[in-house]
Amino acid sequence: MNLHVNEIKLVDDSVHVFTEEEQLAVTPAGQLLTDSDHFQFVYLLDDGDVYHHLRFVEETWRMMNEYKEKKWYLYGTIELEYFSEEFTMLLDNIEGNHNYGKPFVERVEEVFEL
């Protein structure tokens, strides 16, 4: 299932992420990927049977960049483990790497000032 981030709030020096969909009982998988065709970053969540995709659309990227060093929580309660580390590694991998598609790479490099 895809979960679409529709709100990001800074609360007591941590980032709280909320979705359009109803809250699910999930655990963080600790992995961040891209959907370069749709200009999205995707954090994996596990419900024990399947993975769910927490999708960060392009409109959220500036906040992701601004808060990338903070702790991230889904619904304010589920820590998105390794979010900052995965995000930093992913940005390092995307920079100049047109395997992600030139338009996606150029937009990521612009927004995240790579």
The structural domains of the chain, with segments of one domain joined by +, span: 2-111
Do the beta carbons of residue 74 and residue 32 sit within 8 Å?
Answer: no
Average pLDDT over the chain, rounded to an integer: 95
Q: Residues 44-76: pLDDT tens digits?
A: 999 999 999 999 999 999 999 999 999 999 999
Q: Residues 82-99: pLDDT tens digits?
A: 999 999 999 999 999 999
From CA 107, how far away is CA 6, in angstroms rounded?
A: 21
What percent of the chain has pLDDT above 70? 100
* Whole-prediction pTM: 0.93
From CA 55, how far away is CA 23, in angstroms rounded?
A: 14
The C-alpha angle 14, 80, 67, rounded to 5 degrees, equals 40
Do the beta carbons of residue 3 and residue 52 sit within 8 Å?
Answer: yes
- 37 pLDDT band, cuts 50/70/90, is very high
